[in-house]
Every structure is written in structure tokens, then in C-alpha cells.
Amino acid sequence: MSEPTAQSPRPENTLRQLEEAGALSHFASSIAHEVCNPLSQIVLATDLLAGPRPLNEDLRKKITGFLRQGADRIDKAMKQMLRACAPIETSMTPENVNTLLDDALAASGAAAAASIHVEKHYGGSLPPVLVDRQHVTEAITHVISNAIDAMMPTGGTLTLKTELKVFESSEREGWQRQSWFRAGDRAVVIEITDTGHGIEAAKMPLIFEPFYTTKPAGKGAGLGLTVAKKIVDLHYGRLEINNRREGGVRATLTLKTASHI
């Protein structure tokens, strides 16, 4: 399991890459937004309490409401953030990716959406992957949910494809051991494509960042891909998201097969 030290993850390097992509400052400003707005509410409510306005029952209720709601919002933001950063416990079992995809599809509600046409191109007799079934299903569900969101309300086609891939040469991204594949490695590749609005090129470096969302408040927390990536990393797999030339997005999830973990 242990790699030579030269290949182990280098957090400081990863941090620098994030900073260069503007992602760290995005993370900081997202947290600032999630915390400073309710904080502002709390400060202003205490000012009102200390101010000249006579404190009748109505005002008292209103102020306690402002204070409570502000505190709850900060609490929620912190819990979401901690959840996104918390370690994940895994229990690995050999699984068929086609089954995982079907479970994720059902969980995302895609099959139920009338305007979404689902196309499946599943590879036959794929070798099993050794994964935490619940977590990997969750990761795929996040990706499918994004695909559906991007196609709504007009609708579109969601294509799910699985196939076996044998690496001809070794591949890795940056310093991350997680996405390191060696020549001869066998992996199962899951492709999830949509015909939605795609992702603005300048925003690509941000999509895995916690709290990055283009969805309205209350709709998206901006944590789906953060969690999905974290789960995939835990499995030493790879999750890539790209715009398609034809429009829409292609998500590619690569997981090593059981015999290679």
C-alpha cells in the first residue's frame, strides 16, 4: 500500500495549486458569506435590543427570532463544512458498477423525471470493483443529480456508459497518489454524460471546491462534487468533469478493479 515518499501527496503543493486556481480565496469568501450574513443579523438584532425602541411582546418575539435564525444558520454552515471535511469510514466489498449505477440513478430520481431520457450502454461481464458500496453510490448520485439539474427544466438525455479499461502506460495527476494508475492496471470506467448547459470554462477549477455553486440559495449547497471527489479519492479512483464539444458535460469515474487494489 505504501508508496515511495517522492510520490506521496504533498499538501502544500496541492494548496498552492488551489490558490493559483483562485479556489482557496473562493473557499474563504464562501465561508465568509455563510457566516458573516447571519452574524450581521445577530449584531443588528442586539443593536435593536439596546436601542430606543420600546420592547413590546411583538418586538421581543421578532428579535429573538432574528437571533435564533442567525445562530441556526451559522450552526448549519459549520456542520455542512465539517461534514465535507470529515474523515469517511469505509467498508469494502466487491461490487458490480452497473448495479451501483442503477442504484444511484434510482436515488437521484432521474428515472422518474419525464423530461429526462435515460440511455444505458453498460458493458457486459465487467470485473467487480472493491468499494464501499454506500459511499460510491452516493458519489455517483451527486454526479447524476448535477447532470439532471443542468438539463432542467427543458429536459434532455442522460447517458450512462460502463466499460473495462486496461492502462497502457502509467498515469497520474500532479502529486496525488489517489489518481495514480500504472501500466497494466485494469479499471472500470463509468461515463455519465448530459445534454445540459455545461460549465463556464473559467469556473472549471472551482467545481470541486466546497460551497461552490451556481444554483439558487436553498437549492444547492455546493458540496455534491466535493463529497464525490473525496469518496473517489478514498478509493484511489479518478473523477474527471469536462465539457463536451457537442454541449453538456461528461463525468468520467475510473475505479481500479478488485484484483488491483
Ligand X SMILES: Nc1ncnc2c1ncn2[C@@H]1O[C@H](COP(=O)(O)OP(=O)(O)OP(=O)(O)O)[C@@H](O)[C@H]1O
Give the C-alpha separation, 92 to 130, whole Å. Answer: 6
Question: Out of 10, 17, 39, 74, which residue is the one contacting other proteins (CB under 8 A)?
Answer: 39
Of the candidate spans 40-48, 49-57, 150-158, 224-232, the one that interacts with Mg ion by CB under 5 A turns out to be 224-232
Question: Out of 6, 11, 12, 51, which residue is the one contacting other proteins (CB under 8 A)?
Answer: 51
Of the candidate spans 38-46, 122-130, 144-152, 153-161, the one that interacts with other proteins by CB under 8 A turns out to be 38-46
Q: Which amino acid is at 187?
A: A
Give the C-alpha separation, 185 to 17, whole Å. Answer: 28
Dig out the grid coordinates for 251 from the structure. Answer: 463525468
- For residue 196, state whether it binds Mg ion (rule: CB under 5 A): no
- For residue 141, state whether it binds Mg ion (rule: CB under 5 A): no
Dig out the grid coordinates for 66 from the structure. Answer: 432574528
- For residue 187, state whether it binds ligand X (rule: CB under 6 A): no
- For residue 224, state whether it binds Mg ion (rule: CB under 5 A): yes
- For residue 47, state whether it binds other proteins (rule: CB under 8 A): yes
Do 238 and 179 touch, CB atoms closer than 8 A?
yes
- For residue 216, state whether it binds other proteins (rule: CB under 8 A): yes
Q: Which is nearer to other proteins, 25 or 115 (CB)?
A: 25
Do 134 and 258 touch, CB atoms closer than 8 A?
no
Question: Out of 7, 13, 25, 99, which residue is the one contacting other proteins (CB under 8 A)?
Answer: 25
Long-range contacts of 12-21 (CB under 8 A, 24+ apart): 13/174, 13/175, 14/174, 14/175, 14/176, 17/174, 18/209, 21/205, 21/206
Question: Out of 15, 36, 85, 111, which residue is the one contacting other proteins (CB under 8 A)?
Answer: 36
Query: From the CB of residue 37, how many other CB atoms can be counted at a distance below 10 Å?
Result: 13
Interface residues toward ligand X, by CB under 6 A: 142, 146-147, 150, 194, 196-199, 207, 212-215, 220-226, 249
Q: In the complex, which residues of this chain contact Mg ion (CB under 5 A)? A: 146, 224
